[in-house]
Chain A
């Protein structure tokens, strides 16, 4: 019974295409995130989102946009894919978001490896 699940696990596509990665969590958490892990293995936060606010890392190009149909889902849309977008993308969730009471414990999915040719 996977807590945070991402699909697809692997995605190979051409430059210029538009693609989406889906994320779902069944933990009842109110905050979800997207992280990018590049070839050098550094994990970088892209977005933090709950039903009240979206916080965007200012270094993320606006070709990337998170979309949340409901509290349990946060999908990542990428327009006009570039070679440099090739990476592993991790979704995560936590309870509490920016409010008090959150423990800072994030639950991560298994990652989606995106390869742009």
Chain B
């Protein structure tokens, strides 16, 4: 699976949009982009995933560039409870065992 690069940490003001970038320049055609987050002392939580098109759900939006080499997770109105480590993961559709490989992630701090 392709490797991802994310900033180590980011701050965001409460109520503002949080835009978390992810580079995956070696992504191949059958690889999906996944986002998970881990709130302190809890298990990771699935947020969203996509292949080519932009995706939106009740938690977030995922914007994938046309060349698919990078993506941005958008939390439209960040709250204090969105403070967490956010993981961008690229996974092949044929990934044996469906195993996700987590990198270092981005530590998002939402401030009042």
Contacts and interface: CB of A to CB of B under 8 A. Distances in A.
Contacts of B101: 45
B99 A45 contact: yes
| Contact-residue bracket for chain A | 20 to 34
Contacts of B91: 104
Contacts, number: 66
Interface stretch (A12-20, A66-74, A78-86, A93-101): A93-101
B29 interface: no
A55 B97 contact: yes
Contact of A90 (B44, B46, B87): B44
Contacts of B38: 43
Given A104-B49, A104-B91, A94 B42 contact: no
B49 A105 contact: yes
Contact of A104 (B43, B45, B100): B100
A103 B49 contact: yes
Contacts of B102: 35, 42-44
B104 interface: yes
Contact of A31 (B93, B98, B104): B98
Interface in B55-110: 85, 87, 91, 93, 95-104
